[in-house]
Structure 1
Amino acid sequence: MRILPLFLVIFFLSQLTLAQSAFQKAFDSNVNSSKENVRINFSDTAGNSGYLPITIIKGKTKGPVFTIVAGVHGYEYPPIIATQNLIKEIKTDSLNGTLIIIPIANTASFFTRTPFINPQDKKNLNNAFPGKKNGTITEQIAHFITTNIISKSDVFLDIHGGDACEDLIPFVCYYNNPKKATQTALAKKLSENSGFEYVVSYPYNISNKEPAKYTFKQAVQDGKTALSIECGKLGNVQSENVALIEKAVYNMLGTMNMYANSTGSHKNIIHCNNQIYIKSNVKGIFYSQYKAGNKVKKDAIIGYTTNEFGVILEEYKATTDGFVLYMLATPPINIDDTVMCISAYTKN
């Protein structure tokens, strides 16, 4: 076990204290109708450094605290661009309550164009919660969001999209947590009012003592109303998906009586509550004729993997009827990769 010199421990703790103070000062400001940008700096014992950009928008009156996080995976561009637009568009005089916006949670991933992980410590921020106060840089960012952002939030929205290799259909999702009936009901309402056609619910199956790992699952574990958007695909900026995200945020703010720019829910909402994940057992080159949104039948061959010489190593079959919520859409495939997520609705 590595023992740190005392002066280094004191230095890192003082850095964290300064970071917390800068955010707290901006959040506690009594200036209404204001917009303030804060950068929270981090550094770890491996010599990594980085920052977390945060915008705090205070409305003309006090009200709920609504947090929006994008860029947990820095290669997911539509959410990042949508939050940039929202920061510019939101009129403080028309806002009730407070918005906390993290436009790029994983800046190292974003600026190095690295899918999924922070290249500095090779950790996935969306697998690091609740984080560690004195951990690696990714763990410190997760800890800061948990202790300083989630703790102050009434609603916590985590926005994702298809990373560099993922094809998906736009959807909004929440955890069906029966132990937090009030928060779950509001998350469901916000999801249904978002304007998305597909509303997905996941079972909540961890105890309060287990690490939540996922960003918005941490907020659920901490007793907050939390939900997530998945919109965009294949590491590109699609203007229609940027617009869908913005529309959803405005609809949610309208539901919370925070901002009057909502356009209403989708006319034909499709609920999904049964997600089946097809995994790879081999490393090779992946092939499939399917795309996100396609219907699949049980036992249908949905794809296969070959080696470098074209020899088929593994075939993948659908284990249920449903449709492709998201899937691997580029040739490289590794052991334990998610080939496809098939979604359906099952009556309870």
Structure 2
Amino acid sequence: MKIIRKIGVITTLLFAFLLQAQEVTSIIHKMKKDQRVDTLISLDKNNLLEYIPLTVIKGKYPGVTYTIVAGVHGYEYPPIIATQELMKEIDARQLRGNLIILPIANVASFYRRSAFVNPLDNKNLNTAFPGVASGTITDRIAHWITKEVIPNTDVFIDIHGGDANEDLLPFICYYDRQDDKTEKARQLCEASGMEYIVSYPYNILKSEAAKYAFKQAVQDEIVALSIEAGKLGVVQEENVKMIKTAVYRMLNHAGVYKTKNDERNIQKRYFANQSYIKVPVKGIFYSDIKAGEEMIKGQKIGFITDDFGNILQQILAPSDGVVLYKIGTPPVNVGETLMCIGHYN
């Protein structure tokens, strides 16, 4: 793997160099303080869509390394646009430590406007971790992040939103591994200022595939969390702002990047358990329920028809709770997650 392009963008001077794609550690170590480097990492020189954009910002002061990843799903636009704006705004002279930023982790999915999967191999990057060095492009992206980015990270922030067909309630989440890393992730979630905080059970062995990007970081004993904001394949300015605010608040809380935050006391709501409704039959889904609405067990929440409008199945809420995300467009296929319901602690 070779870097196919090198661009030095720094607050005080230009900086560029050529090295092996694997050597993220070398990029950080060779940089001087108060510098930024933008680089394209090539995973296949014969395919112009098989690369990863990488930005490293080295602060004026020593400190820990935060990684921000957006665009694991290329159709989730608010995280990508928020990260673009963060890169423009963050001043290395005010930064303590380093920032590693992957602004569009899944380039082919983004530029080909492909929901969920990379169109070059039809694989979902967010189920591919830890990846395979000799696999298809999705496998290699996951492998590169696992081997080159996560080991250089102290805190891993994976930013997502609702994909092209998903209606979603903005929330921030972490895996409850019940250790000191979990507690640090929980504290950062609290500091984010987001109203809804979701904790997922962590129940896999070290030998099992993590599948998800920030779960891979957790498995590798890195503090990790994920922001979810945005929906239905559209850039909503309020969600872009929410993501940026959450990132700035967490960096400020950690002493990495000082900002003036809104000090309003935001009431938090916590979800420690989730129920998932799977699509029982292929068809056309009708529902007036929106993400964020509260459900009562047994409540009718929609129905699925066949191609001619005949009702195939009524959909009932399996439990009380709040809709975290749901399919927000008519077509549904067997086995897809129709709706995720969060349960208050």
Q: TM-score, normalised by structure 1?
A: 0.91
Aligned pairs, number: 330
Q: What corresponds to 2:327 in structure 1?
A: 328
Counterparts in 2 of 1:95 and 1:265: CA distance versus 1, 3 Å: farther
- 2:85 aligns to what SS in structure 1? helix
In structure 2, distance between residues paired with 1:169 and 1:14:
38
C-alpha displacement of 1:19: 1.5
Matched, 1:165 2:165: yes
In structure 1, distance between residues paired with 2:228 and 2:2:
35
1:242 partner amino acid:
V
Q: What corresponds to 2:10 in structure 1?
A: none
C-alpha displacement of 1:244: 0.4
Can you list the C-alpha shifts for 1:214-244, whole angstroms capped at 9, x where unaligned?
A: 0000000000000000000000000110000
Q: What corresponds to 2:313 in structure 1?
A: 314
- 2:227 aligns to what SS in structure 1? strand
- 1:187 aligns to what SS in structure 2? helix
Can you list the C-alpha shifts for 1:258-291, whole angstroms capped at 9, x where unaligned?
A: 0111525752011111110000121110110100
Pairwise CA RMSD of aligned residues? Answer: 1.8
In structure 1, distance between residues paired with 2:45 and 2:198:
37
Q: What corresponds to 1:26 in structure 2?
A: 27
Cα contact 2:49–2:108 (8 A) shared by 1: no
Counterparts in 2 of 1:107 and 1:14: CA distance versus 1, 3 Å: closer
196-205 or 266-275, which moves further after superposition?
266-275
In structure 2, distance between residues paired with 1:19 and 1:176:
33
In structure 1, distance between residues paired with 2:2 and 2:59:
33
Cα contact 1:48–1:137 (8 A) shared by 2: no
Matched, 1:259 2:235: no
Can you list the C-alpha shifts for 1:181-205, whole angstroms capped at 9, x where unaligned?
A: 1100000000011010001100001
Alignment of 1:3-152 (within 5 A): 18-21=20-23, 23-43=24-44, 50-152=50-152
1:232 partner amino acid:
G
Q: What corresponds to 2:220 in structure 1?
A: 222
2:303 partner amino acid:
Y
C-alpha displacement of 1:13: 9.6
Q: What corresponds to 1:276 in structure 2?
A: 275
In structure 1, distance between residues paired with 2:48 and 2:33:
37
In structure 1, distance between residues paired with 2:137 and 2:288:
40
Matched, 1:244 2:245: no
1:169 partner amino acid:
L
151-160 or 313-322, which moves further after superposition?
313-322
1:86 partner amino acid:
L
Cα contact 1:76–1:163 (8 A) shared by 2: yes
- 1:65 aligns to what SS in structure 2? strand
Cα contact 1:170–1:231 (8 A) shared by 2: yes
Cα contact 1:35–1:57 (8 A) shared by 2: yes
C-alpha displacement of 1:25: 3.2
In structure 1, distance between residues paired with 2:31 and 2:109:
34
1:313 partner amino acid:
L
Cα contact 1:71–1:160 (8 A) shared by 2: yes
Q: What corresponds to 2:15 in structure 1?
A: none
Q: What corresponds to 1:286 in structure 2?
A: 285
In structure 2, distance between residues paired with 1:59 and 1:265:
29
Can you list the C-alpha shifts for 1:118-151, whole angstroms capped at 9, x where unaligned?
A: 0000110000000001111110010000001001
Quote the sequence identity (%). 52
2:315 partner amino acid:
Y
- 1:309 aligns to what SS in structure 2? coil
2:142 partner amino acid:
A
C-alpha displacement of 1:319: 1.0
1:311 partner amino acid:
N
- 1:268 aligns to what SS in structure 2? coil
Structure ranking higher in helix proportion = 1
2:130 partner amino acid:
P
Q: What corresponds to 2:9 in structure 1?
A: none
Q: What corresponds to 2:200 in structure 1?
A: 202
In structure 2, distance between residues paired with 1:64 and 1:208:
25
1:218 partner amino acid:
Q
Can you list the C-alpha shifts for 1:54-74, whole angstroms capped at 9, x where unaligned?
A: 110010111010000000000
In structure 1, distance between residues paired with 2:264 and 2:87:
23
In structure 2, distance between residues paired with 1:240 and 1:307:
36
Structure 1 runs, 4 residues or longer, greater than 6 Å off: 12-15
C-alpha displacement of 1:48: 8.3
C-alpha displacement of 1:174: 0.3
Cα contact 1:193–1:265 (8 A) shared by 2: no
Q: TM-score, normalised by structure 2?
A: 0.92
